[in-house]
Amino acid sequence: MGLRMAELYLGGRRLLRDKSDHLRMEVSDFTAPVTEAKEKSWLAAYTRSRHEQQVANQLERKNLEHLFPTYERVARWSDRVKRSRAPLFPGYVFVHVADSEQVRVLQTSGVVSLVSRAGQAVTLLPDEIERLRTCCLRARDVEPHPYLRIGHRVRVKHGPFAGWEGTLVEKQNSRRLVITIEQIMKAVAVNIDGADVEPIN
């Protein structure tokens, strides 16, 4: 009588358990498909209006890496001033996922779609993500700004925003650098000192 064996498969190899309960491994003719860990990309998820925080909370529960930049919004009345956090990019939350995880993002309540071009999700560039991270850390120094296509281009020379390039504008006697995120056609304005920027030729 032959040995009775229970068969298990592990990475294309067959594990055999004999009557003495010992495991031995032999190469199986069956080769399991090898799935390599794909690199993750930063994408922009488009959300329903005023659902950005809800989406970010759900992504957190799903353990999906994401960025939800906010800024400090100030509302002034005659008798008081109220400060609150609001989305820096209304309608968007940024996610860091592999292709196989995109469906989990799309299944998140409040997510409408991923920003795409020709049917493919648009990948944000590494320097754009670094800018978003910095914005997350400096909520008091940034605010939304109308998207600009033209204007004077400048580069920040010193400080936490060193190396950033954007359009120089003025607002209420202060100079600000407008940074655009091309993929979602949005922009933010950063408070800067005029001496910290230089023109880009």
pLDDT on residue 171: 66
Write down the CATH superfamily of domain 37-124.
Answer: NusG, N-terminal domain (3.30.70.940)
Under-70 pLDDT residues of the chain: 1-38, 148-151, 171-173, 193-195
pLDDT on residue 152: 74
pLDDT on residue 200: 83
pLDDT on residue 148: 62
d(CA 66, CA 127): 16
Domain boundary assignment for the chain: 1-34, 37-124, 139-201
pLDDT on residue 199: 79
pTM of the model: 0.67
pLDDT on residue 100: 94
pLDDT on residue 162: 83
Regarding the domain delimited by 139-201, which CATH topology (the fold level of the hierarchy) does it fall under? SH3 type barrels. (2.30.30)
Burial of 45 (0-12, 13-18, 19+ CB in 10 A): buried
Looking at this protein, which amino acid is placed at residue 54? Q
Could you give the 3-state DSSP secondary structure of residue 180?
A: strand
User: Beta-strand (E) ranges in the chain?
Assistant: 6-10, 13-17, 23-27, 41-47, 65-67, 70-76, 81-87, 92-97, 111-114, 116-117, 120-121, 142-145, 153-156, 165-171, 174-181, 186-191, 197-199
